[in-house]
Amino acid sequence: MELTVYLAGQIHDHWREEVIQKAKEQNLPLTFVAPQTNHERSDRVGEDILGEQPGNVYRDDAASDINNFRTEVLMQKSDIVIALFGETYKQWNTAMDATTAINMNKPTIIIRPKSLVHPLKELANKANVTVETIDQALETISYIFE
């Protein structure tokens, strides 16, 4: 049984590569999909495709059209969603993606550092599993194959 995992969350560091590398080392039968991780391209994709927009609000809205489209296609193809929250950014799109996954009955794992326990408590409460590290998330998925 092959499973597809959507990796929601921040695109400012290389956590996805770590997940993918570790899953490979453990020979887990997983395919990973994700949002655009080139931050600049992600912010600019609306104008890249639709042409210059009249200011930041419209530029951001155009980019969101394209990014939400991509997320919707790929999340519908996924069996599991991992959503990682880091300490720096607002990450409301991550909260939105995790919530949408939960509402679609996609089994969902949240990864967040201890420092974020309090602000993430309601969402952690709704997710299937909440952990602190990438290793714990992969252990949770690997448990399916035991």
Q: Name the residues that contact its own copies, by CB under 8 A.
A: 1, 3, 31, 33, 36, 38, 41, 45, 48-50, 54-58, 60-61, 63-70, 72-74, 76-77, 79-80, 85, 89-93, 95-96, 98-100, 103-105, 107, 109, 116-126, 128-131, 136, 139-140, 143-144, 146
**CA 70 from centre of chain:** 12
User: Token pair of 46, please?
Assistant: 């609306």
Based on CB atoms, which residue is closest to its own copies, 13 or 135? 135
- State the minimum distance, in angstroms, from the CB of residue 109 to its own copies: 7
Residue 100 CB partners (closer than 8 Å, separation 6+): 75
Closest CA to 108 of 118, 94, 119: 94
